């Protein structure tokens, strides 16, 4: 005989009372700041908010017509594309290698994952030392092998390369963890059937393995996009500060500069709204287009 037990509260208000601290935290630290950001985007705000003047859509008009801001949008698009692409490509490549049963495989996997445990600030400092033009180990080897000592952070192309490399190195471990878990859970009978049919390793990967990884690839694509737009501020701040000549100034960093260095609170709020709406639209587009290529095997 089965007996059912039902958890019941004596008071109908007790569940809401228990949830009240969570609601308060969400209201104070999430919903209210979000509402204030949208509201301030329609104002020109004086220093420390001592005076606010309603300007309607003027902040947005300046953002989309000022060549400086248009360049920032372009920098953000290029930087985000490179970070997402190389983070996922390198993560997948390393995951396939780490999935092989070789001596010391546990150590190799740990070494691939540990950079993700570092804070972005620490990762930025590591790359700042690595690519130091005078004392960096990268320039040391380039000097020994080719007689080159480039000044990485004062040339636009090289500065963007260092910035992308730091962001990719920091996040590739995240992709390795998920791709490795997905690889270890692939159906063995399908892979074995492809092997029996005489498919080459390259064919097995692109025709069988990669399509089976599509759900994980789609998930990582969304997460890496969010990372590239929102979580890479420390790299820009520590390595280039948006330079040289604004070549690496991306939107998340410019929001900080306009808001806390130049005290253009209204413009910073408008940029925050643009960034938020842009990421939401991009994510929805990814779901709309990406899910058509995602195959959930049974």
Question: Could you tell me the CA-to-CA distances from 160 to 47, 174, 242, 253 in Å, in that order?
Answer: 33, 22, 10, 14
- The strand pairing partners of 262, in sequence order, are none
Residue 1 in any domain: the answer is: no
Q: Is the pTM of this model over 0.85?
A: yes
Residue 248 in any domain: the answer is: yes
Question: Could you tell me the CA-to-CA distances from 123 to 93, 222, 238 in Å, in that order?
Answer: 22, 22, 10
What CATH number should be reported for the domain holding residue 171?
1.10.3720.10
**Which of these, 113, 2, 112, 74, lies nearest to 246 by C-alpha position?**
74
Q: Using alpha carbons only, what angle is made at residue 258 by residues 163 and 283, rounded to the nearest 5 degrees?
A: 60
pLDDT per residue rounded down to tens, the chain (298 residues): 445 555 566 778 888 888 899 999 999 998 999 999 999 999 988 776 678 889 989 999 999 999 999 999 999 999 999 999 999 999 999 998 888 877 777 788 888 888 888 888 899 999 999 999 888 899 999 999 998 899 999 999 999 999 999 999 999 999 999 999 998 888 878 778 877 877 788 888 888 888 888 889 988 998 999 999 998 899 999 999 998 889 999 999 999 999 888 888 899 999 999 999 988 888 888 777 766 666 555 4
Residue 110 in any domain: the answer is: yes
Cβ contact 98:105 at 8 Å: yes
Domain with 286 in it: 66-293
Residue 298 in any domain: the answer is: no
For strands 52-54 and 43-45, give the pairing. antiparallel
Residue 25 in any domain: the answer is: no
Q: Using alpha carbons only, what angle is made at residue 171 by residues 168 and 175, rounded to the nearest 5 degrees?
A: 110
> Considering its fold, how many domains does the chain have in total?
1
The string of DSSP letters for 185-237 reads TS-HHHHHHHHHTT--HHHHIIIIIHHHTHHHHHHHHHHHHHHHHHS-HHHII
């Amino acid at each position: 005989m089965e007996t059912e037990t039902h958890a019941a509260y004596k008071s109908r208000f007790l569940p809401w009372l228990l949830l009240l601290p969570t609601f308060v935290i969400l209201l104070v630290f999430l919903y209210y700041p979000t509402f204030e950001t949208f509201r301030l985007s329609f104002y020109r705000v004086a220093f420390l908010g001592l005076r606010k003047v309603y300007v309607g859509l003027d902040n947005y008009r300046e953002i989309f017509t000022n060549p400086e801001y248009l360049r920032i949008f372009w920098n953000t698009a290029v930087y985000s594309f490179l970070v997402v692409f190389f983070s996922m490509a390198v993560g997948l490549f390393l995951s396939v290698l780490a999935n092989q049963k070789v001596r010391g495989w546990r150590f190799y996997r740990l070494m691939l994952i540990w950079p993700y445990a570092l804070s972005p600030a620490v990762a930025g400092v590591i790359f700042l030392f690595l690519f130091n033009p005078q004392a960096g180990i990268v320039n040391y080897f380039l000097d020994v092998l080719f007689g080159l000592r480039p000044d990485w952070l004062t040339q636009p192309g090289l500065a963007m390369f260092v910035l992308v490399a730091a962001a990719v190195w920091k996040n590739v471990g995240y992709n390795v963890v998920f791709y490795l878990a997905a690889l270890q859970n692939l159906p063995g009978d399908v892979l074995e059937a492809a092997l029996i049919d005489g498919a080459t390793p390259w064919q097995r990967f692109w025709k069988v393995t990669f399509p089976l990884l599509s759900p994980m690839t789609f998930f990582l694509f969304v997460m890496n996009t969010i990372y590239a737009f929102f979580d890479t501020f420390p790299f820009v701040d520590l390595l280039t500060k948006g330079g040289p000549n604004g070549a690496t100034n991306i939107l998340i960093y410019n929001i900080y500069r306009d808001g806390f260095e130049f005290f253009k609170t209204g413009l910073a709020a408008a940029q925050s709204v643009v960034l938020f709406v842009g990421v939401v639209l991009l994510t929805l587009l990814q779901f709309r287009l990406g899910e058509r290529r995602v195959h959930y095997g049974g």
